[in-house]
Chains A and B, each alone.
Chain A
Amino acid sequence: MKNDILVTDTQGLISRLRELASKGGRLSAITGVDLGERLEVIYSVDVAYTLHNVRIEIEPGVEHISVNDIFNNAWMPENELSEMFNVKIHGIKGQLLLTDEDMGKAPLLKSTRIEVLKGGF
């Protein structure tokens, strides 16, 4: 995609996001994409109507950092990312949309078959 910024570690992620925030950037969305063995997280930041996508791949089971201190509107997207992909995010409860009985089922992982979700589709 246009304006993709690839980062390899959390340090790089934080510094790129801080840089975009200092230019008046606004967090537009946090997108998780299941790549199989790893999870890609895309932070889409709007700076003067141009969208910058900061991408990082994270390991399953490793606690990921929260960016809520850089963008104060990150806590809902981070909660959603956490519950939909079963990712631990520092300081984030990870409960937003799912019922208590569906918690932990990580519906957006490829390995989760929709039949296991309550009611199916």
Chain B
Amino acid sequence: MTVTTVPFGPQHPILPEPVHVKLELEEEKVVGVSFEVGYAHRGMEKALETDYMKGIYLSERICGICSNIHTTTYVNAIEKIIGIEAHKRAKYIRTIMAELERLHSHLLWLGHAGEAVGFENLFMRLWDVREIVMDTLEFISGNRVQYAMNTIGGVRRDITPKKEKMVEDHMDKLEEKMIEIKRDMLTDYLLKKRTAGVGVLKKEDAERLGTVGPNARASGVPWDLRMTRYEAYEYINFHPIVLEGGDNLSRVVIRVEESFQAIDIIRQCLNQMTPGRTWYRYRHEVSGEAVARTEPPRGELFYYIKGNGTNILERVKIRTPTFMNLMVLPTILMGLQFADVPITILSIDPCFSCTDR
């Protein structure tokens, strides 16, 4: 049978960011997959060989979705090297920010997934409720995308009692709307038909390929770095949500469930927070090396930082979640019908600004 090569991307209506996937098709069936990245490479690791305070701002600009967790991981690594720990209240605020970021990332992706399967109404409703999260982030930090919250030793802005009340109210409102959306979404014929049993990633493949985040957990791998209890996760009662299906539908459902879990974690933080300091001034040379790892919306984020005894960093290595998750593409795309390719590529929630750095 004739094999036809079809280029998918780097620009494609379904892709928010650029990647090139080379598909080999026999009629409509995918029989070969390879991909190319690098379209958004900006040399961030080289650029981060600079003053470690400037690194906070630079690392925040690696990704437009999970910008906050990049700085959290960066400052965690610097704090480990210089041997300081953030104040307890600052840890709670960092955790609230991380979970708000997870919420807006998951809602953004769920909207995209709705659009990819032709469920436009779902896309509009999800992006509408996502505005509640964006408003919350803006109210806390003054910004919708890059929040500039983290600094070495704590956070730059406190969540005042008035803001705490507002976050609580917003979470109530969000939860109410999400319950309705979840009901409509998970009982929808179209969504099920387009995603159930499609793009299956088996547990053994997820483990073998080092898959991280919701993609791994949707395939039955109970791996969530928040269980290492960094920041205020030490005080929070939660367990990773794990599903067994491994298909596109499981990757949708897990992000819905994790959105509810994020709301619960934010509430726990607000209930447990006590008044206190949120940061202290710190200025010192950085000598030594450390690794910090966190769990952003897409999975494990890894920072290795080495200082040389001055304020200039010697080396910063960043390994982002999509860098690992991309390697499952050939496995989940092989044997699919061409029409299922867009939603399946999208189902791993790829971020190429992060991957390419």
Binding site for B on A (CB under 8 A): 1, 26-29, 31-34, 42, 44, 49, 51, 53, 71-73, 75-77, 84, 96-99, 107-108, 114, 117, 121
Contacts and interface: CB of A to CB of B under 8 A. Distances in A.
Interface of A is mostly: mixed
B43 A114 contact: yes
Contacts of A51: 291, 293
A42 to B, nearest CB: 7
Contacts, number: 77
B304 A108 contact: no
Contacts of A33: 306, 314-315, 317
A117 B45 CA distance: 13
Which among B228, B319, B327 has the highest number of chain A CB atoms within 10 Å? B319
A117 B47 CA distance: 12
Contacts of B356: 97
Contact of B327 (A34, A49, A73, A114): A73
Nearest to B289: A1
A121 B304 contact: no
A76 B327 contact: yes
Which among A71, A73, A84 has the highest number of chain B CB atoms within 10 Å? A73
A31 B38 contact: no
A29 B209 contact: no
B300 interface: yes
B210 A108 contact: no
A61 to B, nearest CB: 21
A96 B38 CA distance: 6
Nearest to A99: B38
Q: Which 9 A-B pairs have the closest CB atoms?
A: A73-B210, A29-B319, A97-B38, A31-B317, A97-B41, A29-B302, A31-B304, A72-B208, A33-B315
A77 B324 CA distance: 9
Contact of B47 (A73, A77, A121): A121
B216 to A, nearest CB: 10
Contacts of A75: 327
A2 B300 CA distance: 19
Interface in B41-89: 41-43, 45-47
B63 to A, nearest CB: 16
